[in-house]
């Protein structure tokens, strides 16, 4: 059994920023348990983060963040937490897929979400480079550029209506050929969105992950400078929060106090797990806020 003052579940952007903040108090035993997955492992380049005008990859940002946290004494463990339970009023026990048990006075859940990304050859290698997921983060990148949106049904149609504000050269390919309401079809047509129902065989690209177009299964090639995806059905990793008594919204995101990010007694959340815009910069802020309030809680526990 590994016992700590705080265990951070998830070593992505939110979890790392929280670890750095907690480590700098120099008074807590902090462990980050991370399975090595998540959105930030897929993103080739974040373009909207302060201090990186030319962009930074998720892999690099995670490596730098871990180094910063370790310099303050924060520990790291590669494992996947599969179960959470309360064993005492002020103790939370976590079980890893490795069989290891962890116990802590406080827990920060930064488990995020996983985008539903079909296994289309060439798609993952372009993500965050020239193909994007979040219009708030990267709508700027398609400004005035020939863009292909790969998606499914109404999730893709709604994204198309957002993206058409950025470029007047937008093709939405409904890869899964799922239904779209007549009203959404009408809106897309009026806005100037071109629409095609076709399965995509390959995302074509140059060697550096720069999309050049897509090849559909009927042999057609559609050229493109940029891409977006919107397939819907993303999976929020809310289960641990639910096991610890947090309130789960209808969309499976976790509700928390917006001031402190506390979701349940001795439990905080940060990042895409919560109800907010899904951005790395937001995740950083929430990680820092949650860490500050965890520090306050640990001080109170220490005083009895």
- For the chain, what are the domain ranges? 2-115+234-302, 123-230
CB 104 within 8 A of CB 4: yes
Q: Which pLDDT value is given to residue 44? A: 87
**In terms of Cα–Cα distance, which of 228, 222, 232, 233 is closest to 165?**
228
d(CA 216, CA 302): 62
Tokens representing 247 are: 């309130």
Residue 101 structure tokens: 């048990």
Q: What is the pLDDT of residue 146?
A: 98
Helix (H) or strand (E) holding 291: helix 280-303
How far from the centroid of its chain's Cα atoms is residue 2's Cα? 28
Q: Which residue's entry shows tokens 């002020």? A: 90
Torsion-angle region of 41 (φ positive above 0: left; ψ -120 to 50: alpha; else: beta)? alpha
Tokens standing for residue 233: 């059905």
User: What backbone torsions phi and psi does residue 36 show, to the nearest 5 degrees?
Assistant: 80, 25
Cα torsion angle, 154, 159, 163, 165, sign: positive
The Cα–Cα gap between 239 and 110 comes to: 12
- The reported pLDDT for the residue numbered 220 is 96
- Say how many C-beta atoms besides its own lie within 10 A of residue 36's C-beta: 11
CA distance linking residue 6 with residue 102, whole number of Å: 10
Q: From first to last of the 304 residues of the chain, give the pLDDT tens digit.
A: 889 999 999 999 999 999 999 999 999 999 999 999 988 998 889 999 999 999 999 999 999 999 999 999 999 999 999 999 999 778 999 999 999 999 999 999 999 999 999 999 999 999 989 999 999 999 999 999 999 999 999 999 999 999 999 999 999 999 999 999 999 999 999 999 999 999 999 999 998 889 999 999 999 999 999 999 999 999 999 999 999 999 999 999 999 999 999 999 999 999 999 987 789 999 999 999 999 999 999 999 998 7
Alpha helices in 105-211, H assignment, sequence order = 135-138, 153-163, 182-191
Region 123-230: CATH code: 3.50.50.60
2-115+234-302 to CATH, choices 3.30.1330.40, 3.20.20.210, 3.50.50.60, 3.40.50.1100: 3.50.50.60
Same fold, 2-115+234-302 and 123-230: yes
Q: Taking Cα atoms as reference points, which of 130, 111, 155 lies closest to residue 47? A: 130
C-beta separation of 103 from 83 below 8 A? no
């Amino acid at each position: 059994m590994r016992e700590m003052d705080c265990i951070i579940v998830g070593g992505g952007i939110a979890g790392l920023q929280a670890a750095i903040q907690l480590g700098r108090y120099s008074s807590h035993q902090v462990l980050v348990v991370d399975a090595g997955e998540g959105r930030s492992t897929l993103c080739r380049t974040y373009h909207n983060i302060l201090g990186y005008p030319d962009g930074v990859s998720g892999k690099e940002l995670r490596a730098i963040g871990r180094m910063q946290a370790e310099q303050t004494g924060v520990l790291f463990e590669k494992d996947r937490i599969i179960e959470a339970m309360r064993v005492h009023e002020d103790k939370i026990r976590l079980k890893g897929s490795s069989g290891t048990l962890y116990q802590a006075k406080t827990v920060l859940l930064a488990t995020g979400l996983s985008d539903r990304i079909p296994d289309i050859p060439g798609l993952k290698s372009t993500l965050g480079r020239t193909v994007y997921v979040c219009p708030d983060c990267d709508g700027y990148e398609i400004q005035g550029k020939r863009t292909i949106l790969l998606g499914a049904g109404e999730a893709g149609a709604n994204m198309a209506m957002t993206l058409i504000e950025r470029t007047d050269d937008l093709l939405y390919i409904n890869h899964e050929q799922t239904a779209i309401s007549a009203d959404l079809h009408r809106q897309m047509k009026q806005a100037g969105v071109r629409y095609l129902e076709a399965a995509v065989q390959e995302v074509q690209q140059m060697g550096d992950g720069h999309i050049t177009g897509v090849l559909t299964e009927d042999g057609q090639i559609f050229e493109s400078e940029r891409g977006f995806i919107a397939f819907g059905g993303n999976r929020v990793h809310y289960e641990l929060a639910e096991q610890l008594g947090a309130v789960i919204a209808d969309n499976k995101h976790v509700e928390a106090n917006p001031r402190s990010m506390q979701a349940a007694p001795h439990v905080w959340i940060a990042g895409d797990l919560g109800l907010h815009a899904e951005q790395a910069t937001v995740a950083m802020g929430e990680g820092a806020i949650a860490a500050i309030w965890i520090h306050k809680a640990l001080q109170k526990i220490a005083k009895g």
